[in-house]
Amino acid sequence: MPAPENMELSVKGLIVTGAQRRKLLDLPCLTLAPGQSLGISGPSGAGKTTLLHAVAGLIPVNTGAIQWGDTDLADLSDAGRARFRAAHMGLVFQTAHLFDELSALDNAAIAAGFAPKHARAAIRDRAREHLQKLGVQASTGRAVATFSGGERQRISMSRALARSPAILLADEPTASLDRAAAERLGDDLLDFSRQGGTLIVVSHDPSVLARMDTVLRLADGQVMQ
Amino acid sequence: MAFWDGLSPVVQDSSLLLALLAPIVLLGGALLRGYAPWAVLRALLWRSRVAALVFVALIAVSVGLGVALLAQERALRQGAARAADGFDLIVTAPGSEVTMLLATVYLQPSDVPLLDGAIYAEIARDPRVTLAAPIAFGDSYNGAPVVGTIAGFVDHLSGPLIEGRMFADHREAVVGARADVAMGAELEPAHGTGIDADAHAHSEEHYKVVGRMAATGSPWDRAILVPIEGVWEVHGLAAGHAEGAQDALGPPFEPTLFPGTPAILVVADRLVDNYALRAAFTRSDTMAFFPGAVIAMLNGLMGDVRQLMSVMALVTQTLVMAGVIAGLVILMRLFAGSLALLRAIGAPARFVFAVVWAYAAGLSVIGAALGLLLGRGAADILSRVISARTEVLVQANLGWPEVHLVAGFVTICVFVGLVPAALALRRIVVADLRA
């Protein structure tokens, strides 16, 4: 269950440049109310992942402001942005980025390793709870290397949700899944949004995008619609 | 300084060890404080288990070799000194102290001039002397030295016999604890030693083994000790005693009928007498020396070699450490995706830094600990080989110097482990996530 926080996203005059000052993203304005879902689509190289990384604070912003509630990511240091992500965001990537050597529960509760001591047990409990909810057998100590793609993404999702974030950012979460698994993960994402979380999903998948409150289409780093 | 000098050696060594390890504890505490990176560490170690094992093995072998060599060198010195324990003062004809030391204490074959009966009588009569034992070497049996001496020397060297009795006849023998001769055996001495020994020179003469000495940890444990009168007779010489008393055993000897001896062990009750006797018999026709002092001098000359060994051990370990760190830097690329994930989901930079550092530090500590065990084992094997070849009992044990060396090495490794940790933080998170 997402924390009841005022995490409205407000992006203004965002410009991200890459090597040789090439403009990767130019976004004049974007707002997303708490509890809303936003889909980001567009062809490869359109700047979808760059936008997701920017709003996650994973890349420095050259120009503009990215405000989550009262917090402007541009004002934060690397460490500050990491703290913000740890406290408020869950991230799901196209590949699950799991520790194949660990169990599903250890993976889902990986953030307990750097959480304050008093919060570790709660993270582990929530990780177990989300794994069960998402249909992953958490009781087994089996390493996740042999899990299916869909299971791995659901573990990744459980990892993202284990700290009860207010914001969930997902980058092509269904790209490597078959249709059934993609549908199921789409449901899980929407559940998060329905429970009050702010959801941003980068996807090529029309069925995922169709379920978002808003869809932002990018091309060459610009908003198409 | 006075306070430090006032501490017992154990407290000093323990304190030095703690001082050497303290930086690891402080650094580890500072980096890991508030974190529980064990699951991540476990995963990374398992993922790179082959490389990790190779790294640990490299560290263990380099540490083990260094430790074994240092321990062995010290054990060899101690063993050599222990073998000379019973030899307070040796008087020989003038020559090389080292040659006489090797011949007398370590029973290494050597052609040396003899001391005559007058000199022996002068020494034996000296009121400061409690034992003047002639030591006549030169014959052998199956490669074991046959040494002519007196019963007092046997008592002095080994104390009570562990088997049988003291020789009581010119043709009886007492053997060393490890001599490959059975009690009651009759043995025919060969003239000379080694491949030049003439096995049939004394074919008419036999010694009967009647006793066995306690172990001394020296080449004397394989020796066959016979009355010096027997040695003289076997060589067709006078037996050292006056007409009518040819069957007598041991001192006093008749100086004019004393055929000669290569060396005389001199024992005095008081240390000051030993020094006075050394001075008295250091003259144109005799040479007196303390075997312990000659060994100390040799050790002093070998000091540079010892330092060189220490430096070589350190250089080897440093090279291995550099190789391991270079390997770790490369290995970090294998972990880049996982480390990027951690940073993406909000792990503080210190956590990621601590994970990489703990990985490197863990390998160093495990490798060094195994190295200590390996060194202990290697030193033990080397000791057995050297003991078997030199017949000097060498018992290598890991001592504080080795422990300090390893602790210092680990501390350096642990600090060098900061390098891959720092490099891991310089990587670009989004690039590693996409890779």
| Res A2: pLDDT | 47
Which residues of chain A make contact with B36, given a CB cutoff of 8 A?
112-113, 117, 120
Per-residue pLDDT reduced to its tens digit, B223-273: 999 999 999 988 888 888 888 877 888 888 888 988 999 999 999 988 899
Q: Closest partner residue to A114 among B35, B44, B340, by Cβ?
A: B35
Which residues of chain B make contact with A56, given a CB cutoff of 8 A?
344
Per-residue pLDDT reduced to its tens digit, B289-332: 999 999 888 888 777 777 787 788 778 878 888 888 888 888 88
Q: Closest partner residue to B40 among A82, A90, A99, by Cβ?
A: A99
Give contacts of B 316-335 with A, CB under 8 A. Answer: none
Which residues of chain A make contact with B348, given a CB cutoff of 8 A?
79, 82-83, 86, 114
Query: Do residue A86 and residue B338 have CB atoms under 8 angstroms apart?
Result: no
Write the secondary structure of chain A as one string of H (helix), E (strand) and C (coil): CCCCCCCCEEEEEEEEECHHHCEEEEEEEEEECCCCEEEEECCCCCCHHHHHHHHHCCCCCCEEEEEECCEEHHHCCHHHHHHHHHHHEEEECCCCCCCCCCEHHHHHCHHHHHCCHHHHHHHHHHHHHHHHHCCCCCCCCCEHHHCCHHHHHHHHHHHHHCCCCCEEEEECCCCCCCHHHHHHHHHHHHHHHHCCCEEEEECCCHHHHCCCCEEEEEECCEECC
Domain boundaries, chain B: 12-83+298-433, 89-289
Which residues of chain A make contact with B434, given a CB cutoff of 8 A?
49
Per-residue pLDDT reduced to its tens digit, B142-170: 888 999 999 999 999 888 999 999 999 98
DSSP string, A134-169: TT---S---BGGGS-HHHHHHHHHHHHHTT--SEEE
Q: Does B435 touch chain A (CB under 8 A)?
A: no
Chain A residues whose C-beta is within 8 A of a chain B C-beta are 49, 53, 56, 58-59, 78-79, 82-87, 89-91, 93, 97, 99-102, 106, 110-114, 116-117, 120, 159-160
Per-residue pLDDT reduced to its tens digit, B10-48: 999 999 999 999 999 999 999 999 999 999 999 999 999
Rounded (10°) angle between helices B9-32 and B400-416: 20
Per-residue pLDDT reduced to its tens digit, A80-108: 999 999 999 999 998 889 999 999 999 99
| Res B337: pLDDT | 93
Query: Do residue B346 and residue A86 have CB atoms under 8 angstroms apart?
Result: yes
Classify residue B394 by its DSSP letter.
-
Q: Does B404 touch chain A (CB under 8 A)?
A: no
| Res B194: pLDDT | 61
| Res A176: pLDDT | 76
* Domains of chain A, start order: 9-223 (3.40.50.300)
Alpha carbon distance B186, A152 (integer Å) = 84
Which residues of chain A make contact with B335, given a CB cutoff of 8 A?
none
CB B63 within 8 A of CB B239: no
Alpha carbon distance B35, A117 (integer Å) = 8
Which amino acid is present at B206? H
| Res A191: pLDDT | 87
| Residue bearing the bigger pLDDT, A18 or A33 | A33
Contacts of A57 (CB under 8 A, 6+ apart): A66, A73, A76, A81, A82, A84, A85
Kindly report the nearest CA distance between residue B368 and chain A, in angstroms: 26
Q: Could you give the 3-state DSSP secondary structure of residue A173?
A: coil
Alpha carbon distance A205, B25 (integer Å) = 52
Which residues of chain A make contact with B46, given a CB cutoff of 8 A?
101
Band (pLDDT 50/70/90 cuts) for residue B217 is confident
Question: Most B CBs within 10 Å: which of A99, A107, A161, as the mutation test of the B interface?
Answer: A99
Q: Closest partner residue to A101 among B36, B47, B344, by Cβ?
A: B47
| Res A139: pLDDT | 67
ipTM (interface pTM) = 0.92
Which residues of chain A make contact with B347, given a CB cutoff of 8 A?
82, 86, 111, 113-114
Q: Which of A193, A195, A211 is nearest to A203 (CA)?
A: A211
Chain B: residue whose CA lies nearest to A93: B433
Which residues of chain B make contact with A82, given a CB cutoff of 8 A?
343, 346-349
Query: Do residue B40 and residue A84 have CB atoms under 8 angstroms apart?
Result: no
Q: Does B50 touch chain A (CB under 8 A)?
A: no
| Res B353: pLDDT | 96
Q: Closest partner residue to B348 among A82, A97, A101, by Cβ?
A: A82
| Res B66: pLDDT | 87
Query: Do residue A102 and residue B42 have CB atoms under 8 angstroms apart?
Result: yes
Question: Most A CBs within 10 Å: which of B345, B355, B432, as the mutation test of the A interface?
Answer: B345
Average pLDDT, rounded, for chain B: 88
Average pLDDT, rounded, for chain A: 89
Per-residue pLDDT reduced to its tens digit, B192-208: 666 666 666 556 678 99
Which residues of chain A make contact with B42, given a CB cutoff of 8 A?
101-102
| Residue bearing the bigger pLDDT, B242 or B418 | B418
Kindly report the nearest CA distance between residue B348 and chain A, in angstroms: 6
